[in-house]
Structure 1
């Protein structure tokens, strides 16, 4: 018999109302967006009259989640970057050198004097005066080997040690290079994501492509160049002892030293000769914030983690009176004399900063340095006008599909078709409610998924209504015919939608970007379609039937 318990009816109605309430903010997109942005700004920088006014554009007691618009709908920037993973090999050897140097010096009576030679192939080459003791030197170097930490490197060491004449050669093993490449790209992904998130952009797409490439898509940003300025800077901060100063840009810095220009316009033409191996690096930073120096000028304050604070404190204690330089990428941004030990683990970087540049530098330092440089292979800016054209085209497609389905159902099934149409309208609202709830990004393929869902949504109702027609032909009463129609059509509805849902899951798992957007809307549409067909439409039919109690019905 036709019946739905009062508890189930309340549950269905509550689910529909909650879903439609979650979808409601999307009808007032710009107002709710300003409201959300104002709340975020108030939390970060405090209240202002303008922010309070923007916050009041939408009631706080209503849901404020929005469906985020993708790059093709909102406009923005697209970059395809290649990570120069080979640079990390040399950095690893530079970090390894001080420890190996100290170990070899302890064996000076056996292997003689040592001297590192320059190389461009990412290896560490050390000349030994007693070449006949090369075996002992290789044994010492191999003592620093560690197992490769990766699934593909099981049973391999991270370094390979060899010799050529009087030269000891240490380099990363092939297994370690593969593991290092993977870690470098993953680290680059995370740092790019942090940098983009710092500026408050909505729903960026940052994902790996192939072995060493990264796709970055950021909706709402002005241009590809703006995005490159944000993420393209390596922002590698290092602290170096100063060997000397010179005005000769061609000066020979000497072995294991580097020549770096000054970034301060007041020191134009001044070059610093620095020890190549830094005392402390930006990786030891725990925090960086825009600040002001003792003269009230913009600066950047920083704080080391415990390890960095210990190393920095030890060096400054042992080198009071020495000149110390802070180098950002290839330029010295600050150089000062160590007047007293700095053991507190914090300090300030002063220089020729503007308020904006100090803020930008603190963002880069907080996010961390990119482990390697990035080569941008492709860049594209999508204007908001093109995005609006896509929205308009998608809206027209939805309206046409919606109207065609509504007309077809009303003409084919009469009053029952109208019930199905009401459920279809609720279905679309529930889709947007779920998209808002999970914070999904809607793209043009996602709109295609919604259009496809509109066509598929009535399929379950068609199965039920046709089954009711068949039952009415066997001279059963209308109540029994409706009950059997829903009961016997259920298995076909579930089977058809489960197979489509599995396809959506596979598309989401194996696809990327727009394909995932299509899979999300298709999958959510299947869930809401089954819910509205089995529960909402049935509730409407039963409510009408209980009120009218017709002796006959026509489907």
Structure 2
């Protein structure tokens, strides 16, 4: 006899109702989206504008409000492909190594002679010593500064490659260290780009590494590629450097160990500053827009414990001297130190607008990119194109769904109607689950849903055909239905498990559109099996218990 325990019936019905309830907000997409934006603004700022109050009231708080996020091809937005300048990191490493190497060599000045840095290509440090006969000793001293590479592929190798010829020592990063540095730089760049994009309140960006030195950035809902470039393209390298001198000559020689940087506010003014900063933006723990004593826009900042100590010690020892605040190789402010600045907090002043101060604070909070970027490809996708894609995808889904429903009803009669009803529930469950997990729907994702519609009835076809076979073998209606589900189960599981594994491989190895297709396919397979095995069976069992037919036609 056909039997489904009461607890199973309750669980099946509850899961269907819960999934459909989670899918309902997508029918009122704009209203729910504005409601969610208002709640996010309230959590961030603690206050709402009149428009946000109205938007929040547009959807009841007690109802589900999760939505399926729309991808770049459906919502419109910006696409960028950026190349990271990894060579800048090599140069910074060599610049930071020079003071340490100079101190180590200076300790043996009596034997190796005078020590000075000479011009060299970026990413390379060349040091000349006064006594060429002691070059081997000098090389060994510099080698003592090397450290082991901490990676699985770099075991047994040092981070520096050091050689000596004549009276010159040449230092570069070793190949193993370059590989490790490249990976660290790319990971850091990815994380900082992600934090900057997230801080701007965009939805479901795609930020992924491509190749050895490129980053793919796709942000739905942003105005244009130029807006996205302005948000993430600024390196935002902040440092506080000692001022050596001021000049109006842009070609002046700042001296070894110094850099000549332009004033960001006064054209024709240049500062010679020490190339090794006293404190960098890496020590910042907070930055926010503020105003100075004259009411002009500024940015207040706070250092961590290490930065606060270094900043305090330097200001205490250099009262009355100018101090350069450098952002992206421009001096944005050069105040004179009036007194010891303790506590690790201060303010950056300059010729800022309120928006510029807000943007600068955002960039400093997100952190500095470890290297500059060149945008190799940029593309703006308008919302009109996204709307056309949604309309086309929706038409395809509706036509496919209607064709499948007509076929099932025409082929299997009442049982086909049960399968059709389960198919509608299946589509609702797909959207409900994608809303709950915060998945992103792309145009290939819509293709995955259309494919799911076709696949969803496969299990029902197997079951119904098996029931037909059992009826031909003179089985009674109840026994035929029971055997139909039992004997079709192995084929259903086999077909869906293999498809599920294929979709899982696509998700793991794919990127962008491929993953969007894989997500909807995986969710569709899960809901299809559930509706075919349990939901349709519950309908058939309920109908059979109500009608008790003596004969059965499928």
How high is the TM-score relative to the length of structure 1? 0.98
User: Distance between the aligned counterparts of 1:519 and 1:254, measured in 2?
Assistant: 58
**Hey, what does 1:32 align to over in structure 2?**
32
The SS at the match of 1:62 is coil
Structure 1 position 99, deviation (Å): 1.7
**Hey, what does 2:451 align to over in structure 1?**
452
**Hey, what does 1:386 align to over in structure 2?**
385
| Structure 2 residues not aligned, in runs of 5+ | none
Structure 1 position 118, deviation (Å): 2.2
Structure 1 position 494, deviation (Å): 0.3
Structure 1 position 245, deviation (Å): 1.2
**Hey, what does 2:240 align to over in structure 1?**
239
Structure 1 position 149, deviation (Å): 1.6
User: Distance between the aligned counterparts of 2:196 and 2:188, measured in 1?
Assistant: 12
**Hey, what does 2:21 align to over in structure 1?**
21
1:289-337 deviation per Cα after TM superposition (whole angstroms, max 9, x unaligned): 1111112221111111111112111211211111101010121111111
**Hey, what does 1:526 align to over in structure 2?**
525
The SS at the match of 2:368 is coil
**Hey, what does 1:319 align to over in structure 2?**
318
**Hey, what does 1:332 align to over in structure 2?**
331
The SS at the match of 1:347 is strand
Structure 1 position 273, deviation (Å): 1.3
Alignment pair present for 1:501 and 2:471: no
User: Distance between the aligned counterparts of 2:474 and 2:77, measured in 1?
Assistant: 62
Q: Bigger shift: 250-259 or 388-397?
A: 250-259
After superposition, residues 273-422 of structure 1 pair within 5 angstroms as 273-422=272-421
User: Distance between the aligned counterparts of 2:217 and 2:329, measured in 1?
Assistant: 25
User: Distance between the aligned counterparts of 1:44 and 1:94, measured in 2?
Assistant: 40
User: Distance between the aligned counterparts of 1:283 and 1:109, measured in 2?
Assistant: 38
How high is the TM-score relative to the length of structure 2? 0.98
The SS at the match of 2:58 is coil
Structure 1 position 167, deviation (Å): 1.2
CA contact (8 A) 2:247 2:269 kept: yes
User: Distance between the aligned counterparts of 2:357 and 2:55, measured in 1?
Assistant: 28
User: Distance between the aligned counterparts of 2:177 and 2:264, measured in 1?
Assistant: 36
Structure 1 position 47, deviation (Å): 2.6
Q: Bigger shift: 172-181 or 311-320?
A: 311-320
User: Distance between the aligned counterparts of 1:442 and 1:74, measured in 2?
Assistant: 10
User: Distance between the aligned counterparts of 1:118 and 1:236, measured in 2?
Assistant: 24
**Hey, what does 1:67 align to over in structure 2?**
68
**Hey, what does 1:12 align to over in structure 2?**
12
CA contact (8 A) 2:408 2:420 kept: yes
After superposition, residues 35-50 of structure 1 pair within 5 angstroms as 35-45=35-45, 46-50=47-51
| Structure 1 residues not aligned, in runs of 5+ | none
User: Distance between the aligned counterparts of 1:134 and 1:413, measured in 2?
Assistant: 91
Structure 1 position 207, deviation (Å): 0.3
1:516-542 deviation per Cα after TM superposition (whole angstroms, max 9, x unaligned): 000110111000000000000000111
User: Distance between the aligned counterparts of 2:245 and 2:546, measured in 1?
Assistant: 95
Structure 1 position 268, deviation (Å): 3.2
The SS at the match of 2:153 is helix
**Hey, what does 1:436 align to over in structure 2?**
435
Structure 1 position 452, deviation (Å): 0.3
The SS at the match of 1:154 is coil
User: Distance between the aligned counterparts of 2:174 and 2:76, measured in 1?
Assistant: 44
User: Distance between the aligned counterparts of 2:313 and 2:133, measured in 1?
Assistant: 38
1:31-77 deviation per Cα after TM superposition (whole angstroms, max 9, x unaligned): 00000000111111223332211111111111111111111101111
CA contact (8 A) 2:135 2:165 kept: no
User: Distance between the aligned counterparts of 1:279 and 1:124, measured in 2?
Assistant: 21
Structure 1 position 88, deviation (Å): 0.6
CA contact (8 A) 2:240 2:325 kept: yes
**Hey, what does 2:82 align to over in structure 1?**
81
User: Distance between the aligned counterparts of 2:288 and 2:250, measured in 1?
Assistant: 33
- How many residue pairs were aligned? 553
CA contact (8 A) 2:477 2:550 kept: yes
**Hey, what does 1:123 align to over in structure 2?**
124
The SS at the match of 1:116 is strand
1:386-430 deviation per Cα after TM superposition (whole angstroms, max 9, x unaligned): 111110100010011000000000000010000000000000000
Structure 1 position 272, deviation (Å): 1.2
User: Distance between the aligned counterparts of 1:360 and 1:402, measured in 2?
Assistant: 48
User: Distance between the aligned counterparts of 1:207 and 1:269, measured in 2?
Assistant: 41
Alignment pair present for 1:167 and 2:168: yes
Structure 1 position 446, deviation (Å): 0.3
User: Distance between the aligned counterparts of 2:436 and 2:394, measured in 1?
Assistant: 21
Q: Bigger shift: 211-220 or 114-123?
A: 114-123
CA contact (8 A) 2:263 2:332 kept: yes
Structure 1 position 185, deviation (Å): 1.0
Alignment pair present for 1:99 and 2:97: no
